[in-house]
Amino acid sequence: MKTLLEFMQIHHGQCDQLYADGENSLLDEQMEEGVGQITIFLSEMERHFLMEETVLFPTFEDISGMRQGPTQVMRMEHQ
């Protein structure tokens, strides 16, 4: 069974790949495919941000006691 951190790292890599695939398709003028890949990328990034903000960050904050630290910065970056 994967840990939460492993799952998040794998999902982040999948998002990176979706973006790269979409960008390459658009550069190759495969517009429909590229737009589809970028649309999936955007949806998956929203999902990733939601998982970070509702599961990962609160867990980190509870364990570390830091509520105004790195997680606050990352939440602002998600905006």
Q: What is the pLDDT of residues 8-50, one digit of tens each?
A: 899 999 999 999 999 999 999 999 999 999 999 999 999 999 9
Q: What pLDDT is recorded for position 75? A: 87
Q: What pLDDT is recorded for position 67? A: 84
How many domains, the chain? 1
**Residue range of the domain that includes 38:** 4-77
pTM for the full model?
A: 0.81
Give Cβ neighbours of residue 23 (< 8 Å, ≥ 6 apart): 34, 38
Sequential DSSP letters for 10-71: HHHHHHHHHHHHHHHHHHTT-HHHHHHHHHHHHHHHHHHHHHIIIIIHHHHHHHH--SSSHH
